Structure 1
Amino acid sequence: MNQTWNWLRRAALYAAAATTMAWAPAHAEQASSTLDRVMQSGVLRVCTTGDYRPFTYLQPDGSYVGIDIDQAHSLAEALGVKVQFVKTTWPTLMKDFDAGKCDIAMGGISVTLARMKTAAFSIHYLVDGKTPIVRCGDVDKYQTLAEIDQPSVRVITNPGGTNFKFVQAHIHHAKVIVYPDNNTIFQQLVDGKADVMITDGTETLLQHKLHPQLCAVHPRHPFTYGEKGYLIPRDDLPFQNFVDQWLHLEIASGTFQKVFDKGLQ
């Protein structure tokens, strides 16, 4: 009996040791959380495209402005660190983020399942969706996708992001113009070089203010449902918890709404 008991005890000790060894790498990885590294370095590196108003815009003097730029400064303040913005583009966003060039990505980024295959997102801070923006005299002509997807219609889109993917999925007959500069793309509509752009409703509302010749078709009733959040490293629970709670407090206190309203002015 004693021999059997000793064998069982040894087996239990071996199992416990094996479990400890199995958990050790995960624990070590958790100890090196982005949260710890950011606070130790004193710098929060933020990837942003700088070409998506009202969320992020790179000004000629090299400084960034926008809703999510203000939010980046707020997050850095909560962490007790400074912000360092890292320029990226929509086609290279996930590659740059997965390569570790930044700690978080901010700037009107849509939450998609494709992006979540290699990264995680904060809680969402905005619900939005794809809707057309056209010259104001053409609003009645382009109410539906069927009316837009005609051979005589020129649809312009920026490459690499969810706008481009939406056009790829839904526009099959209209002429598609892929235009690389998201900062000047709306001027192409004003100048009559394209007829329709499909983008997020929030952006169409701001672009109407910037270009009164352009009107959002139905920004409150978009073609799709979408959410925006902040891109964060996958499997980094301490950092995700911090970002989520910070963002929750920003929204619940009304602070985010003030930042959002300011961005649309």
Structure 2
Amino acid sequence: MVSVRLSAVKKISCALALGSALFAAATSAQAADNFWQAIQQKGVLRCGAAPAAPYVMRDPKTQQYSGYFAELCRDFGENVLKVKVQFVDASWDTLVAGLQSDKWDLAMALNQTPERALAIGFSTPAQDYQISFLINKQNPKVKGLGTKLADYDKPEVTFAVMSGTAQDKALSASIKKGKIMRLPGNDESRLALMARRADVLVDASDTNHLFALANPDWAQEIMPAPALAKQGVSFGLPRAVSEADVEVLNIYLTQRRATGDIDRLVNQASAQANAAK
């Protein structure tokens, strides 16, 4: 009789445990399916912010955030979700971990990589990260060459690049005829271009874009084809967020990109960054 009772108690305990697990799973799934709704109920969208111009910038005096990803996060929160927007200080080392530990709802300006995609979700890209060329448009060796990578890969053309960077790796794999001048930093590579010791400066497109805007009289940015490297720059989201909720953000970004709004924000942020310098 005692063993029968104990067996029944065990069955009841197992049933309760299974029921609790199913309830927790259902609750978690419901939360994942109502990501934006939960934020609307809280009344605040938290944006993880790691400064890097022109994506995200912070005024050292006022501590106010700007940059085109900051403007997109602010606009999405205020005008789509109808909530307040809170920027949470972060670093590039903590943006992914902060999403996983619920320190912020969105991580701004993350490059899409397979490794990150194992841990978090991504929106559609707001912009593309690409390695670009910067040239002196008055230099006869490269003037009017267009965008084809092969047109620049000539024995008489010298490329300046920071040694050991992703740009150096990509350039080294693609350039077969041209000379590669590897330098220790940004300043040295830019000076090499300005002094015409190099004909092409190879760097991330956002960095070259800033420099081209600051020197419109002579500097020209070129997006080589085929691309040396290209990744989407997106918002990071918790991995459990449903496809339906991710699609809300994707539609917002797609529309703003298609109308040229994001390009205008990039130029505005770039001009602001140059003015600050």
Q: TM-score, normalised by structure 1?
A: 0.66
Please provide the CA RMSD for this pair.
4.2
Task: Note closer, same or farther for the CA distance 1:176–1:221 as it changes in structure 2 (3 Å cut).
Answer: same
Inter-partner Cα distance in structure 2 for 1:133 and 1:95? 35
Matched position secondary structure for 2:111: coil
Q: Among all aligned residue pairs of Structure 1 and Structure 2, give the percentage whose two residues are the same amino acid.
A: 18
Task: Give the match for residue 223 of structure 1.
Answer: 228
- For 2:212, the aligned partner's letter is H
Inter-partner Cα distance in structure 2 for 1:249 and 1:258? 11
Structure with bigger gyration radius: 2
Task: Note closer, same or farther for the CA distance 1:167–1:91 as it changes in structure 2 (3 Å cut).
Answer: farther
Gaps of 5+ in 1: 1-15, 180-184
Inter-partner Cα distance in structure 2 for 1:209 and 1:99? 39
Task: Note closer, same or farther for the CA distance 1:85–1:114 as it changes in structure 2 (3 Å cut).
Answer: same
Task: Give the match for residue 3 of structure 1.
Answer: none
2:31 aligned with 1:25, yes or no?
A: no
Which structure 2 residues correspond to residues 115-194 of structure 1 after superposition, within 5 A?
Answer: 115-133=116-134, 140=142, 155-156=161-162, 164-165=165-166, 167=168, 171=172, 175=182, 177=184, 185=186, 189-192=189-192
Task: Give the match for residue 264 of structure 1.
Answer: 267
Task: Note closer, same or farther for the CA distance 1:100–1:26 as it changes in structure 2 (3 Å cut).
Answer: same
Question: Offset at 1:41?
Answer: 2.9
Task: Give the match for residue 58 of structure 2.
Answer: 58
- For 2:65, the aligned partner's letter is Y
Gaps of 5+ in 2: 1-14, 174-179, 269-277
Q: TM-score, normalised by structure 2?
A: 0.63
2:91 aligned with 1:89, yes or no?
A: yes
1:233 counterpart (226, 234, 238):
238
Task: Give the match for residue 38 of structure 1.
Answer: 39
Question: Offset at 1:224?
Answer: 2.6
8 Å contact 1:125–1:228 — kept in the other structure?
A: yes
Inter-partner Cα distance in structure 1 for 2:257 and 2:115? 31
Q: Give the aligned length.
A: 233
Question: Offset at 1:73?
Answer: 1.0
Task: Give the match for residue 212 of structure 2.
Answer: 208
8 Å contact 1:204–1:219 — kept in the other structure?
A: no
Task: Give the match for residue 245 of structure 1.
Answer: 248
8 Å contact 1:208–1:215 — kept in the other structure?
A: yes
2:198 aligned with 1:199, yes or no?
A: no
Question: Offset at 1:119?
Answer: 0.5
Task: Note closer, same or farther for the CA distance 1:170–1:259 as it changes in structure 2 (3 Å cut).
Answer: closer
